[in-house]
Amino acid sequence: MKTSRIPGFYNKTVEERRELLTAMESFTEDEMDILFSKEPLPTETADKMIENVIGTFPLPLGLGLNFLINDKEYTIPMAVEEPSILASASHIAKIVREAGGFTAESSERVMIGQIQVVGCTDFAEAKETILQEKDALIDAANASYPSLMARGGGAEDLEVRVLNESSDSQYGQMLVLHVYINTCDAMGANIINTMVESLAPTVEKLTGGKVYLRILSNYPDRSLAKARCVIPPELLATNDFSGEAVRDGVIHAYEFAASDPYRAVTHNKGIMNGIDPIVIATGNDWRAVEAGAHAHASRFGKYGSMTVWSKDNKGNLVGELELPMSVGTVGGSIRVHPMAKISLKILGVETARELAQVMVTVGLAQNLGALKALATDGIQKGHMALHSRSVAIAAGATGEMIDIIAERLVNEKEIRVGKAKELVDEYTK
Ligand SMILES: CC(C)(COP(=O)([O-])OP(=O)([O-])OC[C@H]1O[C@@H](n2cnc3c(N)ncnc32)[C@H](O)[C@@H]1OP(=O)([O-])[O-])[C@@H](O)C(=O)NCCC(=O)NCCSC(=O)C[C@@](C)(O)CC(=O)[O-]
Ligand SMILES: NC(=O)C1=CN([C@@H]2O[C@H](COP(=O)(O)OP(=O)(O)OC[C@H]3O[C@@H](n4cnc5c(N)ncnc54)[C@H](OP(=O)(O)O)[C@@H]3O)[C@@H](O)[C@H]2O)C=CC1
């Protein structure tokens, strides 16, 4: 049976890790070629993906381990440049699996397409007319993308708002239609844009106004994914801190983020440390996910914490994260980038909803990893120890010198490039 619990994976060489992975997954020869290739994204493919291509920009791809979500094992491909993220996520996943694992859920995948109408003579009447024609408009949207309905998705609902109704508003009045569209396993931006563009002439006719924007919203608040963990305090104890002290420190850290936007931004950056690398590894649109996540963090009128940490009546630490997730397992560049296909295979997700659940779970784990470190030893101890290798490389260390210099930086508690340069000079004399 597949397990993501691989103790000491990080102590192995890259070759040994690849052997372990290929023993776990049944890769085809083509997939193996891509996985072991020096150029997993061929320049010819890159040249078809964006404009003005001059090359590709590789990132490290690692595996987040130990994840048990809804009783299913996940090894999680994460593409990111920052050290300690994978270690931290795996560290928390190891603790949570001892507590029974994470639970996660997601709502129906309902994305939003917006249509902006200006210049109506009577906005209230225009709104009424649109609502009377709601079913016909939904049918028309579906007729413009029949394959989506055939898959069980399609436009499902329509709402209308009038913005800037007040006469003292500094902006002009406008009607905004929200078409709610189930995009199945696609993120859906292009699908939605096609559908809302097709409605524009009818909407103009019905309202007597002029349609300007016809575009998806990157805040799909009907497409939410949620993750949760419940951790007995004893699993949180460290050499120097009791489990209760760690739990209380995490809750205090959450309350800081919940009450102060300056802290919330950093707190939430730590959450996105877990989410973005999966979004990137699976070929999804990280700008869309980032934009939606931060909008959700502001939904109560003030920017706040994306996660909630509390204590239940048994004294367990309870963590929750809910975010909108515009991600897919098909569409965009997902089936174009060879590594994205392999990442999805390693992840073993069946649907976009399952992918969203995994992403929010790793975001929750990542947040706890950072808060546990911050509320105890401080971030520098674990993070900078792992960052020391990048510092050594930046100072000019190569080959076996990298680990030797990194270790000395950690032992001498001076993890900075200037110090590393001195050590490189000493080593190469
Ligand atoms: C780094 C740890 C995990 C060490 O923590 P530790 O307690 O020394 O870990 P451990 O040695 O007990 O190992 C426990 C497990 O962690 C994993 N693990 C342990 N070490 C490694 C490694 N080298 N490579 C890969 N995996 C590792 C591994 O799964 C291991 O299990 P095992 O396999 O041994 O059975 C801990 O100090 C930590 O989580 N620190 C926080 C790091 C962090 O949050 N980094 C994010 C970057 S900082 C930032 O950008 C965000 C921030 C902080 O500003 C957000 C905020 O302010 O909220
Ligand atoms: N604001 C934003 O976020 C914007 C983002 N984008 C970009 O749009 C891209 C995503 O758009 P998206 O519409 O998802 O991608 P696509 O345009 O690639 O559309 C998805 C395709 O997947 C096919 N498909 C196959 N299986 C399924 C399935 N199970 N469920 C759904 N579709 C399936 C559909 O084929 P078929 O035709 O046979 O139905 C459809 O053509 C991203 O690259 C994003 O960066 C673009 C504009 C704006």
ipTM: 0.96
- Ligand 2 atom nearest the C-alpha of 148 is 39
Which one, of 70, 60, 107, 65, lies nearest residue 89 by Cα?
Answer: 65
Over residues 84-88, mean pLDDT? 97
Over residues 169-196, mean pLDDT? 96
Q: How far apart are CA 117 and CA 177, in angstroms?
A: 8
Q: Is 73 a catalytic residue?
A: no
Catalytic residue (choose from 133, 185, 276, 285): 285
Q: List beta partners, residue 68.
A: 73
Q: Is 267 a catalytic residue?
A: no
For ligand 2, which residues put their CB under 6 angstroms from it?
147-148, 151, 183-191, 216, 218, 285, 288, 328, 330-333
Percent of the chain with pLDDT over 70: 100
The residues, ordered by sequence, that sit 6+ positions from 343 with a Cβ below 8 Å of its Cβ are 61, 77, 79, 278, 281, 282, 283
Over residues 214-233, mean pLDDT? 97
Q: Give the distance (Å) from ligand 1 centre to CA of residue 369.
A: 7
Q: How far apart are CA 250 and CA 244, in angstroms?
A: 10
Assess whether pLDDT exceeds 90 at residue 2: no
Q: How far apart are CA 373 and CA 28, in angstroms?
A: 40
Assess whether pLDDT exceeds 90 at residue 385: no
Which one, of 85, 13, 394, lies nearest residue 402 by Cα?
Answer: 394
Q: How far apart are CA 368 and CA 420, in angstroms?
A: 31
Q: Is 31 a catalytic residue?
A: no
Q: How far apart are CA 117 and CA 111, in angstroms?
A: 20
Q: Give the distance (Å) from ligand 2 centre to CA of residue 327.
A: 10
Q: Considering only CA atoms, which residue is closest to atom 8 of ligand 2? A: 189
User: Ligand nearest 350 Cα, by number?
Assistant: 2
Band of pLDDT at residue 245, cut at 50, 70 and 90? very high
Assess whether pLDDT exceeds 90 at residue 382: no
Tell whether the torsion through CA atoms of 190, 192, 195 and 200 is positive or negative: negative
Catalytic residue (choose from 269, 302, 381, 413): 269
pTM: 0.96
For ligand 1, which residues put their CB under 6 angstroms from it?
7-8, 10, 65-66, 82, 84-88, 90-91, 94, 266-267, 269-270, 273, 369-371, 373-374, 379, 382-383, 386
Band of pLDDT at residue 67, cut at 50, 70 and 90? very high
Which one, of 69, 126, 94, lies nearest residue 9 by Cα?
Answer: 94
Over residues 191-207, mean pLDDT? 98
Q: Write out pLDDT tens, residues 295-352.
A: 999 999 999 999 999 999 999 999 999 999 999 999 998 989 999 999 999 999 999 9
Band of pLDDT at residue 381, cut at 50, 70 and 90? confident
Q: Write out pLDDT tens, residues 265-296.
A: 999 999 999 999 999 999 999 999 999 999 99
Q: Give the distance (Å) from ligand 2 centre to CA of residue 334.
A: 9
User: Ligand nearest 277 Cα, by number?
Assistant: 1
- Residue 178, both tokens: 């929200």
Instruction: State the average pLDDT for the chain.
Output: 95
Catalytic residue (choose from 31, 82, 157, 204): 82
- Ligand 2 atom nearest the C-alpha of 193 is 47
Assess whether pLDDT exceeds 70 at residue 22: yes
Ligand 1, pocket-test mutation among 91, 251, 265, most atoms within 8 A of CB: 91
Whole-number CA gyration radius for the chain: 25
Q: Is 421 a catalytic residue?
A: no
Strands 307-311 and 317-324 come out as antiparallel
Over residues 74-79, mean pLDDT? 98
Assess whether pLDDT exceeds 70 at residue 1: no
Assess whether pLDDT exceeds 70 at residue 361: yes
The residues, ordered by sequence, that sit 6+ positions from 215 with a Cβ below 8 Å of its Cβ are 113, 114, 192, 193, 196
Q: Considering only CA atoms, which residue is closest to atom 30 of ligand 1? A: 91
Assess whether pLDDT exceeds 70 at residue 97: yes
Across 221-286, the runs of DSSP E, i.e. the strands, are: 224-231
Q: How far apart are CA 173 and CA 21, in angstroms?
A: 57
Catalytic residue (choose from 94, 127, 383, 387): 383
Band of pLDDT at residue 257, cut at 50, 70 and 90? very high
The residues, ordered by sequence, that sit 6+ positions from 220 with a Cβ below 8 Å of its Cβ are 110, 111, 112, 292, 324, 325, 326
Which one, of 247, 288, 294, 249, lies nearest residue 268 by Cα?
Answer: 294
* 346 in Cβ contact with 329 (< 8 Å): no
